[in-house]
Structure 1
């Protein structure tokens, strides 16, 4: 039997890339690097503009989204190092699609650019041999700001075939409260889980926990080949009552722990609209609960359903703090994409606490800004801090980040030429001093 090797835990990989006229996907020399300076808080804003304010868009519902101001340009001479967590959800794209297909303008706070970019698959080369990830880079002209350039930095996770994935211990945590009683909630949820159940192997185990006014176990751990028994439990679910999310999470993690598979894929799959209103329910309280639960080495996947009262902000926080990911299911095709086509990337982590750190060459880059990832930024010293939580990468998962660069010598309305910023008229040949990746 072939042994599957997966990468998880406190592994640190430091890679450095020197760019010389890199205009396409690059394979560059690697060197070690680590730093510990504190990132300053100084940011740059466009000429005659004010700091971005909260979106004025109004949502005619009780949906909730975090307001995240867009990243602005940073002088590379003052802050040459950019560090961020690689945890990337993909819920924003399908959620925005839901608004657009309904003829509605999505609220601006629902747009998270990194999730839009990472929703799609890119033809990145697979890692070689036993490497868990491959770094891919591209450099191109910026189409919306003449003279600026775009730097793409991507990670391609190793693809492990479904047959070679370790056994799964999955706990379905299903919201059956009254708010889930509409076709795009519990009925769609049932159809979505049916797809996953049909793809289970005999060595996999499934449990089902439900919560409304209280939480309960409706299906003890059951082998994946007992599909009829599992589907009967799913089809018997019905919605009604209030939403005690905290109680459900506690029970689900207890069930997952009781059936823990050493070296396996142990995961709670939370399916809800996020509208918790009984017991532990605030964003901060739920976050504290999940941070405590993740110590058990049980991962969390959040699946959002429904419209009108979707608590996107809560779902994203739970997935982020629970060493997991967040997807929004707006139709059965999206369910198939998340639960079948991308099962390895969604449900099985090959690398934990992945951090990316890039050091820009100030001689050739005047300023830079990371497009998206606003709520995933880290301090420089966080890169080498093993206690600092970061993102997880799944099997075959890709993480793509794009920087907009203002080369040295280029005048831009987005920055002021200040004393201490040197001007150079040469073409930028070396954009980056280093790329570091911590796993």
Structure 2
């Protein structure tokens, strides 16, 4: 009798357990008014505290019972609570959140237009352009460098920068049929996206300097000075042991196929490059930061890849907490004289805790003295926060690449493995002194966000740019020769109360400029100084290196996309023709891709103007 009662009791318990699991609740989520499905939306059962996400078709399945309350949320939409009914499939519509839709966009106009968006589509000049609700990308404002008079400003100083994120991000926009936001176009990053054939240092220095002096193709009355730095090459087996921390954004905004799935593929490529002496830990962040894999030897590749494969997206974005946790883990496994680096993969859209651009700058400045560098890999579109990524890289002894497809991941992680992840010179700064006997005015093309005060050049507490193994940096100066009449540089009336220096203040000794650069070895805090002279020996453009001619085409392309006031006689046909002639070997096809991209941009440019 007792056995029968026990069986009955167990059955009751099991039946109770089964009831607590409830049933599969299925549904689909749409955008209100348009019936456009919403992928990646969060569906939270408030009773069980379980969250699921909609798939690419906006569909979801979650365990629950009649009467449960589901909390539906998605970036760019107003959250909504839905009560589960007795039966039937749920069809849920979300309304766009107007407060999240204030945005400056550039579309079919030469100037940005300030618009208040309250609908998912915008009609301009008879064309309908889809404005996705997550189209909230942010870019730091760029105020272009102007021409400077060397009698007043003889020194031009900036941090050498090797980031290339702007080019691949601009490429993504153009391939989508949209001219880019002008502030997304950083001309120096467009130029430095490409590899150039430069001689590596031969005297034991980590960096060599090269210069060329020619005519400016967009104004042959002007001159163009190219300054190029080349970092030394180190064979892979001679690179120092690495202590990597993969810091991965797994928040809800990373759900899309071009975000977390692409992150996984990218990082698994990096895992394949690891050696036995290297180590990897994995830190993730969504609503909070978690350690998904303790520091693991590089020969345990399957274990590392399995941890990457197991990642799923969902929740809010506590980016600052993730950064702090990653630095903590990196410090715990710090390798003296090794390569200690955080590899951060994110769309930059932080929304929990410290999240503003100013917060990121304060946060990273406190961490950068730890001897740990950071590499930023940016992914996605719509809510992409380029401004945060750039700050983290520039202020954190790091570099920054935008990954829009698997080919770009291969370029950044395999083809440029050493340059992206192994620093050979840090705090690299360039200072150019112009001779007014030969130079009436000069303008640095790009580098607006890397400018330094003249006195910062000799101040070792002021950070510069970092250069990795085999990397090169190119900077272009447009120069107006002394005595040349040029309306673009402007003029002012003579001063009344003081004497104005004349060009004779310079010395006609055949030197146009002196180029100096400083750098630090990765494990020291004292800089070293190198310099080179630029003689007044102007080469015809067609006699210069193919690299310089190609770089001028990229610079001209950038100025046109920015609608620069200094573009002068720039034109798509001219730059495309010059790029074709200067394509060179182009084994990977990147230069040919640029030519096709410029042709596409020209077509969009003409369509914008109704040509």
TM range (shorter): 0.7 to 0.9
Give secondary structure in 1 for the equivalent of 2:219.
coil
**2:417 maps to 1:361:** no
| 4+ residue segments displaced more than 2 Å | 57-60, 415-424, 428-433
- Which residue of structure 2 lines up, in the alignment, with residue 226 of structure 1? 300
- Which residue of structure 1 lines up, in the alignment, with residue 21 of structure 2? none
Higher Rg: 2
**2:136 maps to 1:56:** no
- Which residue of structure 1 lines up, in the alignment, with residue 224 of structure 2? 150
Q: Distance in 1 between matches of 2:306 and 2:197?
A: 40
Equivalent in 455, 458, 462 of residue 381 of structure 1: 455
Mapping 1:232-251, distance limit 5 Å = 232-251=306-325
Q: Distance in 2 between matches of 1:370 and 1:431?
A: 19
Over 3 Å counting, the alpha-carbon distance change for 1:436 and 1:101 in structure 2 is same
Equivalent in 406, 410, 416 of residue 342 of structure 1: 416
Equivalent in 500, 512, 519 of residue 432 of structure 1: 512
Give secondary structure in 1 for the equivalent of 2:489.
coil
Q: Distance in 2 between matches of 1:345 and 1:138?
A: 24
Q: Deviations over 1:53-84 (max 9, x none)?
A: x9515794100001111111000111111100
Q: CA deviation at 1:138?
A: 0.4
Q: Distance in 2 between matches of 1:251 and 1:93?
A: 31
Q: CA deviation at 1:431?
A: 5.0
CA contact (8 A) 2:162 2:471 kept: no
Over 3 Å counting, the alpha-carbon distance change for 1:431 and 1:110 in structure 2 is farther
Q: Deviations over 1:121-146 (max 9, x none)?
A: 11111111311111100011111113
Q: Deviations over 1:399-420 (max 9, x none)?
A: 1000000000100011235543
Mapping 1:8-407, distance limit 5 Å = 56=112, 60=131, 61-407=135-481
Q: Distance in 1 between matches of 2:281 and 2:491?
A: 61
TM-score, normalised with respect to structure 1: 0.85
CA contact (8 A) 1:55 1:109 kept: no
Structure 1 range deviating more: 405-414 or 138-147: 138-147
Give the count of matched residue pairs: 383
Q: CA deviation at 1:104?
A: 1.2
CA contact (8 A) 1:358 1:432 kept: no
Over 3 Å counting, the alpha-carbon distance change for 1:178 and 1:305 in structure 2 is same
Q: Deviations over 1:281-314 (max 9, x none)?
A: 1111121111101111100111100010100000
Q: Distance in 1 between matches of 2:342 and 2:510?
A: 45
Q: CA deviation at 1:430?
A: 3.6
Q: Quick check: which one's helix share is greater?
A: 2
Q: Distance in 1 between matches of 2:163 and 2:146?
A: 22
- Which residue of structure 1 lines up, in the alignment, with residue 18 of structure 2? none
Gaps of 5+ in 2: 1-109, 116-130, 495-499, 520-611
Over 3 Å counting, the alpha-carbon distance change for 1:364 and 1:297 in structure 2 is same
Structure of greater relative contact order (alpha carbons < 8 Å, 6+ residues apart): 1
Q: Distance in 1 between matches of 2:246 and 2:172?
A: 24
Q: Deviations over 1:98-132 (max 9, x none)?
A: 01111111111100000001000111111113111
Give secondary structure in 2 for the equivalent of 1:257.
helix
CA RMSD, aligned part only? 1.6
Q: CA deviation at 1:280?
A: 1.2
- Which residue of structure 1 lines up, in the alignment, with residue 5 of structure 2? none
Q: CA deviation at 1:88?
A: 2.8
Gaps of 5+ in 1: 1-53
Q: Distance in 2 between matches of 1:301 and 1:372?
A: 22
Over 3 Å counting, the alpha-carbon distance change for 1:417 and 1:245 in structure 2 is closer
Q: Deviations over 1:238-281 (max 9, x none)?
A: 00000000110111000000010111000011100000000111
Q: Distance in 2 between matches of 1:220 and 1:261?
A: 16
- Which residue of structure 2 lines up, in the alignment, with residue 16 of structure 1? none
Q: Distance in 2 between matches of 1:374 and 1:141?
A: 23
Q: CA deviation at 1:349?
A: 0.7
Q: Distance in 1 between matches of 2:180 and 2:462?
A: 33
CA contact (8 A) 2:276 2:299 kept: yes
Q: Distance in 1 between matches of 2:444 and 2:305?
A: 45
CA contact (8 A) 1:139 1:149 kept: yes
Give secondary structure in 1 for the equivalent of 2:195.
coil
Give secondary structure in 2 for the equivalent of 1:330.
coil
Q: CA deviation at 1:163?
A: 1.2
Q: CA deviation at 1:341?
A: 1.0
**2:483 maps to 1:409:** yes
